[in-house]
Chains A and B, each alone.
Chain A
Amino acid sequence: MTRKGTAALLYFIAALCVVLYPTTIGFALTIGCVTLLTLGYRFRVDFALVLSGWFLYFPLAAVLSIFFGQFWSFLASGTVLVMITERLSFQNQLSFALESSVVIDTEVKRLAEEISGMHARRLIQLVILVTIIGVLSALGALLFSTVSVLILASVLILIIFGIYATRPSIRGTENSS
C-alpha cells in the first residue's frame, strides 16, 4: 500500500468512528486526528502522524466494543493504529527518497522496496506477537488475578520492544565506513 493509500485508510477509520460513535468526545478526538493527519501528511511531519493515531485510539476502541468485548476492542484499536501510523511515518520518510519524478537509477528504488517489504513483514510479526500475548493474557486472567496478568503482558511487550530496539546492527556500527 502506498503512502496515499495508508493515509486514506486512516481517514476512512476516522470517518467510521464519527458515524458509529457519535458523541461529543468521539467527534472532538476524531477532528483532532483528522487535523493532525492532514498536517502531518501535507508537511511530512512524523510526530503529527503518530499523534493522529493516538487521538483515534479511544473512538476506535469504542466502535469496536460494539462488536467485541472491551478487552479485545482496546487491544485491537491500539494494535491497528500503531501499525497504520508506524507504516505511514515509514512511508513518509521513504517518500523523500522516492519523491523525484525521475529516479536516477533503479538501485534506490530496489533498496527502498527491499526495506519496505522488510518493514511490512516485521509489522505483521508484531501483530502476531501482540495477538499471542493477548490470548495468553485472556487465558491467564481466567486462572490468575488481573493485575498479575497485566504485569506479565507489560513485561512481555517490553521484552519484545527490547529485542527490536537492540538489534546487533546497532552494536556493530563502529566498524562501518
Chain B
Amino acid sequence: MVELTITNDGDDIERLVLEDVLPPGVVVKRGSTLMVCVLKRGKRATLRYEVSLNEPGDVHFGPYVLRVQSLFRLTEKRFDLVAPAAIKIYPRFFSRKILASRAKALSFAGSAPSRYKGGRLEFMNIRGHVYGDPVRDINWKASARLGKRLVNEWHAERGLDCIMIVDLLRADIPRVGAWSGRPALISSSYELAHGLIGSGNRLGLLVLGQTPIKLQPGFGSRHLRVLLDRIVTAQEGTVWNASNVEEFLRSFFRRQYRFRGGALFFVTTTPNADLLNAVRTLAAKGFSCHTIIANTLEDEAEALTELRGAEGTTLAVGKRVARAETEWFEKRFEQYSKVFEWTRNSGFVEYGRRLQ
C-alpha cells in the first residue's frame, strides 16, 4: 500500500491533480495513481493505492507531479516534487533457518576440510598450552580453575570456498511482456547460496550485469543475508559478461584463484556461448565448475499464453525448440562442469540423473 499525503498551507485550490510516477516493474493492484480534487486551505488529501511487486529488486519511489489548475484548466502550474521511499523485494523465504534442504543434490558440499585456518565451527576438547598456540584460544576460566594454562581445541572448518557467479546480463534474461526470468534467477541463486552455506561452505559472490557486484567468501546467516541483499539490488545490464569472470577472480578473489581450491557456480537462466566459453577456460585452468540453469520455460509459456503471443501448436513447437536448445547447451556444459537444472517446484536436479 502506497500513501501520499499533501497538505495545502496556501490559498484554496479549485482543481488539484496529483499523479504519482511509478518505478518500472511496479503494477497497480487496487486504486489509482492519479487523484483529482478540490483542496481548500489547511485541508489535506491522501492518494492511496496498492501495488504488486512480482520481481525481486530494489524499488525506489520518488517523483510525483502536482498540477494546480483553475477549474476549467485554463491555467495550470506544474510542480515536480519528490517523496522518497524505497522497498526491497526479496524472493520467498522457504526457511528461516539455514538448512541444506533442496540443495542436497549438491552432495559434495561440506565434505572437504577448508584450506584456511581459523575455522571455529565445532568445539572439541581442552588441552595444555604449547608454545605457538594463539592467545585467543586460551580458555581463561579453565586455566584459572586448574592453575595451568589450557587452550580450546576446535574442529577444522569443513567446506569449500565457493564462488557463485550470477549472470544478470540483460540479453540472458528472458522477458515476455511484464514477465521476466529475473525472479527465478534470484530465487535459484538464493536457494543455492542457502544450501551451500547450510552445508558449511564459504560462499562468495560475483554478479555480472550493469555494475559488477563482488563479495568475498564467508559463511553464516548474516553473510547469507548480505549476499541476498546484493543479489536483489543488482541491476541488469550489458557491461560485464562471462568473459570478464577470470579477470575478477584474479583481481578480487585472489586466494581462491591462486589455490584453485574452491568451486565455481555459474547461475543463469539462458545458457549461451559466452558462458560456455568461460566455463571451458576456467575448467581447463583447474577450477571445479558447476553450471546451474534456472529453467523458466513453463513460466515463459504461461506468460506467452496470457499475452496471446503464442498458443496451441505454435507454443508447443516453441517449447520443444527451446528445450532442445537448453539440452544442447547442457550437454556441452557437461563436458567441463557439473550441470544442474533448477525449477521452482523440484529444486536442483543434476543433468545426468534427470536423463536416467
Residues of chain B within 8 A of A174, CB atoms compared:
10
Bound-state Cα–Cα, A122 to B71, Å: 8
Q: Which chain B positions have C-beta within 8 A of A97?
A: 32, 34-36
Q: Given the complex of chains A and B, what is the CA–CA distance between A102 and B32 in angstroms?
A: 10
Q: How far is the CA of A77 from the CA of B257 in the complex (A)?
A: 83
Across the interface, B11 reaches (CB within 8 A) one of A98, A100, A108, A171, namely A171
Main secondary structure of the interface of A (DSSP, over half): helix
Is B321 on the interface with A (CB-CB < 8 A)?
no
In this assembly, does A5 line the interface, its C-beta being within 8 Å of a C-beta of chain B?
no
Residues from chain B with Cβ under 8 Å of A93 in the complex: 17, 34, 36
Q: How far is the CA of A97 from the CA of B28 in the complex (A)?
A: 12
A-B contact count (CB 8 A): 113
Chain B residues positioned under 8 Å from A122 (CB to CB)? 71-72
Which A residues, 65 to 90, have Cβ-Cβ distances below 8 Å to chain B?
Answer: 86, 89-90
B38 at the interface (CB under 8 A from A): yes
**Which residues of B lie under 8 Å from residue A118 when comparing CB positions?**
14, 38, 71
- Chain B proximity of A80: nearest CB distance (Å): 16
Contact yes or no, A111 B45, CB < 8 A: yes
Instruction: Decide: A115 and B31 in contact? CB cutoff 8 A.
Output: no
Give the residues in chain A near B6, CB-CB below 8 Å: 176-177
B45 contacts A167, C-beta separation under 8 Å: no
B1, B32, B47, B74: the one contacting A98 at CB < 8 Å is B32
Establish whether residues B72 and A86, one from each chain, have CB atoms under 8 Å apart when the complex forms: yes
Complex interface: chain A residues within 8 A of B14 (CB): 118, 167, 169
- Given known contacts A168-B11, A175-B9, A176-B9, A100 and B30 CB-to-CB distance under 8 angstroms: yes
Chain B residues with CB under 8 Å of A96's CB are: 32, 34, 36
Determine the chain B residues whose CB is within 8 A of the CB of A112 once the complex forms.
Answer: 36-37
- Say yes or no for A103: interface residue by CB 8 A criterion: yes
Q: CA of A99 to CA of B50 in the docked complex: distance in angstroms?
A: 14
What 0/1 readout, one digit per residue, does chain B (85-97) give for beta carbons within 8 Å of chain A? 0000000000000
| B36 A170 Cβ-Cβ under 8 A | no
Tell me the B52-104 residues at the A interface (CB within 8 Å).
Answer: 68, 70-75, 77, 79
Is A12 interfacial (CB-CB < 8 Å)? no
Known pairs A93-B17, A114-B37, A169-B11; A100 contacts B68 (CB<8 A): no
Give CA–CA (A119, B74) in the complex, Å: 13
Contacts A104-B50, A176-B68 given; does A170 touch B75 at CB 8 Å: yes
B2 (CB) vs chain A CBs: closest residue: A104
Is B126 at the interface (CB under 8 A from chain A)?
Answer: no
Binary contact track B7-45/A, C-beta < 8 Å → 1, others 0: 111111111010000000000101110111110010001
By beta carbon, the residue of chain A nearest B12 is: A169
User: What is the interface size of chain A, counting residues whose CB is below 8 A from a CB of the partner?
Assistant: 39
**A114 and B15 alpha carbons, distance in the complex (Å):** 11
Give A119 to B17 CA distance when docked, in angstroms.
14
Given A104-B49, A111-B37, A118-B14: A170 and B70 interface contact (C-beta under 8 Å)? yes
* Contact, CB under 8 Å: A103 / B77: no
List residues of chain B with CB within 8 A of the CB of A119. Answer: 71
A51 to chain B, nearest CB (A): 15
Nearest A residue to B75 by beta-carbon distance? A165
Verify B74–A108 contact, CB threshold 8 A: no
Smallest Cβ distance from B18 to chain A, in angstroms?
9
Give chain B nearest CB distance to A122 CB in angstroms.
5
Quick check: is A138 within 8 A (CB to CB) of the other chain?
A: no
Given A108-B35, A167-B14, A169-B68, CB of A177 within 8 Å of CB of B49: no
Interface residues of A in 25-84 (CB under 8 A from B): none
Counting CB contacts under 8 A, is B46 at the interface? yes
B-contact bits for A116-149, CB 8 A (1 contact / 0 none): 0011001000000000000000000000000000
| A111 in complex: contacting residue of B7, B11, B35, B73, CB < 8 Å | B35
Task: Indicate if the CB atoms of A104 and B31 lie closer than 8 Å.
Answer: yes
Could you jot down 14 A-B contacts, CB within 8 Å? A93-B36, A97-B32, A97-B35, A97-B36, A102-B31, A104-B1, A108-B35, A122-B72, A165-B74, A168-B12, A170-B75, A172-B41, A176-B68, A177-B6
Give the top 4 A-B pairs by smallest Cβ distance, nearest first. Answer: A172-B11, A175-B10, A172-B10, A111-B37
| 14 other A-B residue contacts (CB within 8 Å) besides A165-B74, A176-B13 | A93-B36, A104-B50, A107-B46, A111-B35, A112-B37, A118-B38, A167-B70, A167-B71, A168-B11, A169-B68, A170-B70, A170-B77, A176-B8, A176-B10
